[in-house]
Amino acid sequence: MTVTSGVNPMATKSFFGMTLADVEGHCRDFGVSAMHARDLFRSGYKDGLLKPWTRPGLPARYAGFCERELSSVNIRISSEFVSQYDGSVKFIVELSDGRMVEMVLMPEAKRVTLCLSSQVGCAQACVFCHTGRMGLVRNLDTAEVVGQAWLANQWIASRPEWLKANRLPDSQRVTNIVFMGMGEPLDNVEAVARSITIFTDPYGFNLAKRRISVSTAGHLDGLREMVKIHPDVRLAISVHSAVDSERSRIMPINRRWPLESLVETLRELPTQRENGLLIQYTLIAGVNDSVGHARKLIELIAGLNVKINIIPLNPVGPSRLRCPSSADLEAFRDEIHKSGHRVMVRYSKGQDIGAACGQLVAQVNATINAP
Ligand code: SAH
């Protein structure tokens, strides 16, 4: 697949790609009070108005200007699949140029986590990841990232039966956002950081920063940039191997930023020392799943404030990589547990609907996103 990168060439200026400061500037440029920006944000994010400038009370000439100049949510849900056993919902989202990405809603007790995409495809080429096989097609822009959360909230509001089935109140909205869908978010820092500004704006989605997690394969330039803009966003680091030569084989990004530079950078982040980091470790049979590998991981993270999530590999496509046996999985987990670290085994959600790690959209993309 050819790599075109950049953003969507069809994009127009969308309201949903603008931060509150941008909207205030837009008001001022037109000569109306910047106070209107807050009302516009409330209409767009709290009331869920598709065209926030149609709200009553806005000066008519300015509303007309917005109508001519701004576009609205520029993406749509193309299909949805509800898991019969854990209630998670997988969406295929169509972007304005016809490209497809995935997002997943995961209901839990008292919260709903949304897993978002930040790129069409991904440049990192991790061998176990379906998205990685596509190569990078392009970055999502801010409006496409924010639009996913906007669509998810609209979907939730229109599905009382789903809320009821998952024992959630009618007023429930997305409470947590994880950048764990398609793409490497720190390879698209500008759009991801701007979307976090909108997610955490009190007049926007009003989410606390600790409810937003950015997952990275270890893109250190992006990481440094991100923590400059949002020092207290949660970070999830996909480690997957604590042995450099082995990690380079499964995660090519390790050749550019090996483990030592990764850990050194993590140690230098003051807020992460305080709030803690999430370490993700996808367990692959015969590749990184021995007790010896667990010990290496313990050595690597010594002195870091971390919680470890072990994810048994979700085998994808024709790959020969396999999920570990339950005995190996338990031995690996127990070894880490004995070292005193907090460790959880996380199974990918929605296995019955292909919600796990890029499975479904990869099939769709194979035809639709082809150049
Ligand atoms: N680029 C980001 C987000 C990727 S998806 C990152 O690398 O962190 C989120 C997590 O799912 C990552 O830890 C990724 O390595 C993992 N993952 C990808 N494919 C998987 C698979 N087939 N089975 C299990 N985990 C997988």
Kindly give the distance from the C-alpha atom of residue 357 to the centroid of ligand 1, in angstroms, as a whole number.
6
Instruction: Measure 209 CA to ligand 1 centroid, in angstroms.
Output: 22
CA 283 to chain centre: 21
For residue 69, report the distance from its CA to the centre of ligand 1, in Å: 38
Beta bridge partners of 105: 89, 114
Residues 53 and 85 in one domain: no
Separation of CA 22 and ligand 1 centre (Å): 33
Q: Supply the CATH number for residue 83's domain.
A: 3.20.20.70
In the chain, the percentage of residues whose pLDDT exceeds 70 is: 91
Provide the phi-psi class of 315: left if phi over 0, else alpha when psi is between -120 and 50, else beta.
beta
Residue 197 and residue 215 in one domain: yes
Average pLDDT over residues 291-317: 93
| pLDDT tens per residue, range 306-360 | 999 999 998 877 778 999 999 999 999 999 999 999 999 987 766 666 655 545 4
- Which residues have any ligand 1 atom within 6 Å of their CB? 126, 128-129, 180, 184, 215-217, 238, 280, 282, 311, 313-314, 316, 357
Whether 129 is catalytic: no
In ligand 1, which atom is closest to the CA atom of 314? 23
pLDDT digits (tens, 9 = 90+) for 46-104: 999 999 999 999 999 999 999 999 999 999 999 999 998 889 999 999 999 999 999 99
Phi, psi of 344 (to 5 degrees): -135, 145
Q: Quote the domain boundaries for residue 24.
A: 16-71
Question: Both 177 and 31 in a single domain?
Answer: no
The domain tally of the chain equals 2
State how far the Cα of 262 lies from the Cα of 241, in Å rounded to an integer. 12
Question: Based on the domain organization, do 60 and 84 belong to the same domain?
Answer: no
Q: Is residue 170 part of a domain?
A: yes
Let me know the angle formed at the C-alpha of 188 by 185 and 189, rounded to the nearest 5 degrees: 85
Tell me: do 188 and 279 sit in the same domain. yes
Ligand 1 atom, smallest distance to 184 CA: 1
In this structure, the answer to whether residues 163 and 272 fall within a common structural domain is: yes
Q: Is residue 321 part of a domain?
A: yes
Q: Please check whether residues 288 and 157 belong to one and the same domain.
A: yes
pLDDT at 119 over 60: yes
Assess whether pLDDT exceeds 50 at residue 363.
Answer: no
Whether residue 219 is predicted with pLDDT greater than 90 in this model: the reply is yes
323 catalytic per annotation: no
Atom of ligand 1 nearest to the CA of 181: 5
- If one compares 320 and 236, the residue with the highest pLDDT of the two is 236
Element spanning 143, H or E = helix 142-157
> What burial class does residue 331 get, using C-beta atoms within 10 Å of its C-beta: 0-12 exposed, 13-18 middle, 19+ buried?
middle
Domain match, 46 and 151 both: no
Query: What pLDDT does residue 288 have?
Result: 98
Angle at 176 between CA 88 and CA 309, to 5 degrees: 75
Q: Which pLDDT tens digit goes with each residue over 238-286?
A: 999 999 999 999 999 999 999 999 999 999 988 777 889 999 999 999 9
Residue nearest to atom 21 of ligand 1 (CA): 314
- Residue of minimum CA distance from atom 1 in ligand 1: 184
Nearest to 205 by CA among 173, 227, 228: 173
On whether the pTM is more than 0.75, the answer is yes
The pairs formed by 338-342 with CB atoms below 8 angstroms and a separation of 24 or more are: 339/298, 341/298, 341/301, 341/306, 341/307, 341/308, 342/306, 342/307, 342/308
